[in-house]
Chains A and B, each alone.
Chain A
Amino acid sequence: MVSTNQPDTARPARRSLLHTNPSVLWFMGLLGLFTLGVSILSEGMGIGVLSTSMVKILGMTLCLCLIAICMDVVWGYCGILSLGHFAFFGLGGYAIGMWLMYARTEIVIRDSLAGATIPPTELEVTDAVTAQIFGVVGSSELPLIWSFAGSLPIQLAMVVLVPGLLALVFGWLAFRSRVTGVYLSILTQAMTLALSLYLFQNDTGLRGNNGLSGLQNIPGALHVPQSVLSVWFFWASAFALGAGYLLFAWVVSGKFGSVIKAIRDNETRVRFLGYNVEGYKLFVFTLTAVVSGIAGALYYPQAGIINPAEIAPIASIYLAVWVAIGGRGRLYGAVIGAATVSLMSSWLTGGGAPNINFGSYRFLWTDWWLVVLGLGFVAVTLFFPKGIGGLFDYLVRKKP
């Protein structure tokens, strides 16, 4: 029974994150190269091969990759198929959008009133800003939730706090009642649907179906051309993705990762080991919601507009599809899935791809893309359960 060759247990087990996860180093390197490449090719900073709108699309894609990582941690690692994470993404977008819209409108109003002989009072400015923002929904009062919209630090805190609190309360209620599996997925869908329907109403204080617009104009940087701003936001998105990747790589690599994977595979057994399963799920759910909020806060200034349709249930379902296609249970898989599918989607439905003529029938990508995506999803599920990321297993043969 006792073997003569001592296994490597005796050596100190404290190994660095990068040592145990070479993929992290690869990812960081590629992300750095990609960022550098886009900067050099951009219109605003470089030789101008990439248009400003293209840089924005790429920056937004990085934000989508970040929320895909969140989805992978919550679903691929912890086994919670949340179909509501885009609600947190949207809330982050709304939180920053309120400041962007308010602060910019305030600047515009102050500029237009600057020439007046009697300087405007603060109340007059606030009223004018309110009329400007809420005239579209027929309201002249500043909603309570806009009380701090003029303050960037407070709205930045909201980016983190609002999604975090919603996830904390929702998760606490759901996990405490031991709602799992498909029932939990349905609940998360209900949450995002309810939020979206609520925001569609005009009297909720977030401009109903108009949403918040003009978010591409950054107060304090209004003189900076969009071509340069787009690169700044691209950098910020790349930084957030890199930081998020490192954070979650660290979270899932150690014993915490072991426990949440164990919860995914057999949560009853984990309870009998003495772990409070609900606490772990709540922790993962809330942490990923917070990071999703940050991703949303970076996405919408690049998109320029946010409206309740963004957090419709379908968005969160797409998120699950991206992660499944990219490969669950590996962070780079989520990034690959989100980048590939969302870029293909905007290329094929944006008229970028040539339509195909089949004699009398013209194959239009805009009509057929969802069908192709659906078939692709089914094919991946059936034939490559590990997704695109699984292909790397063939490249990197693990030592036996």
Chain B
Amino acid sequence: MTTLLEVSGVSVTFDGFRAINNLSIAISEPELRAVIGPNGAGKTTFMDIVTGKTRPDSGSVRWGERQVDLLKLSESQIAKAGVGRKFQKPTVFEEQSVRDNLAMALANKRGPLSVLVWHMTTSDSARILELATEIGLQDRLDHRAGDLSHGQKQWLEIGMLLAQDPRLLLVDEPAAGMTPGEREHTTDLLKRAAKTRAVMVIEHDMEFIRRLECRVTVLHEGSVLAEGSLDHVTKNQQVIDVYLGR
């Protein structure tokens, strides 16, 4: 188990509001990690920083064995380096079929010219079917993604994330809008993914997190309040005060 991502001393301010305050957090590969915290704790902003959407005012984000500085890379370069992200609100390409959505996410060359001459190989096709089966959409490959239910869109996005074959998965509220059965399936999926990769999950649902059976980081006001097993952090008086008690 080696450290894959190391965020240290990161701060970011939006119009005077300190969204992230000297945050330091690290994740190994493979590892499953849950991130919890009250609204406005900086969970999503943290993901924005790692994926290059938001530039921090200070601090550093180091990636992989060669300690690459992610802050110097663009969003697409970070994604190519192996960081995949699932957004809070499911964002799939609604006008296009489930198959096209997955095909776009597949870990193939990303340049305009190679994409222009790209043809789906048998192995691409098989991989898409495998992913679709994993996310329960194998019968809906040729349907518009926009016609899927909310939960299915969530899954399609998780499928696209897996198709990218990233080393780190950042998953923002994967279980929102899912039925209990779907939630259970999602936990299985994430746990399986975390056997070979680093997976970081933001969630509000404590039951969901309990099922993940992993290390938990509690964020509050832009920095880490507590870290450890779920039982450990839920016994922490500060955590109870700012988050669980409310």
Total interface residues on A, using CB and 8 Å?
A: 33
Decide: A273 and B118 in contact? CB cutoff 8 A.
Answer: no
A356 in contact (CB, < 8 A): no
With A14-B120, A265-B94, A269-B91 given, is the CB distance from A258 to B112 under 8 Å? no
**Residues on B with beta carbons closer than 8 Å to the beta carbon of A258:** 93, 96, 100, 103-104
Give which listed residue, A9, A261, A276, contacts B95 with CB less than 8 A: A261
Task: Check: B87 CB closer than 8 A to any chain A CB.
Answer: yes
- Whole-angstrom distance from the CB of A171 to the nearest CB of chain B? 13
Tell me whether B125 and A275 are in contact (CB under 8 A): no
**A222-279 CB contacts (< 8 Å) to partner B:** 251, 254-256, 258-259, 261-262, 265-266, 268-269, 271-277, 279
Flag whether B239 is at the interface (Cβ < 8 A).
Answer: no
Contact indicator A275/B139 (Cβ below 8 Å): no
**Chain B positions 86 through 105: 1 when the CB is less than 8 Å from some CB of chain A, otherwise 0:** 01000101111001100111
Q: Are B115 and A259 in contact, CB atoms less than 8 angstroms apart?
A: yes
Q: A7-B141, A13-B125 are in contact. Are A276 and B87 (CB under 8 A)?
A: no
Chain B residues with a Cβ closer than 8 Å to the other chain, count? 44
Please tell me if B129 contacts chain A, counting CB pairs below 8 Å. Answer: yes
Q: Does A1 contact B (CB under 8 A)?
A: yes
Chain A residue at smallest Cβ distance from B140: A7
Question: CB within 8 Å of A: which of B98-133?
Answer: 99-100, 103-105, 110-112, 115-116, 118-120, 122, 124-126, 128-129, 132-133
Does B74 lie within 8 Å of A271, measured CB to CB? yes
Contact A274 B76 (CB under 8 A): yes
B30 in the interface (beta carbon within 8 A): no
CA distance A2 to B139 in the complex (A): 9
Is A273 touching B115 in the complex (CB atoms < 8 A)? no
* Nearest-CB residue, chain A, relative to B185: A1
- Complex Cα distance A255/B109, Å? 11
CB A269 to nearest CB in B, in angstroms, measures: 5
Contact between B99 and A9 (Cβ–Cβ < 8 Å)? yes
Q: Are the C-beta atoms of A271 and B79 separated by less than 8 Å? A: yes
Interface presence of A27 (CB below 8 A): no
Q: B104–A273 contact, CB under 8 A?
A: yes
B91 touches A266 (CB 8 A): yes
- A3 interfacial by beta-carbon distance below 8 Å: yes
Complex CA gap A303/B103 in Å reads 46
Assess the A251–B116 pair: CB atoms within 8 A.
Answer: yes
A262 to B93, CA, bound (A): 6
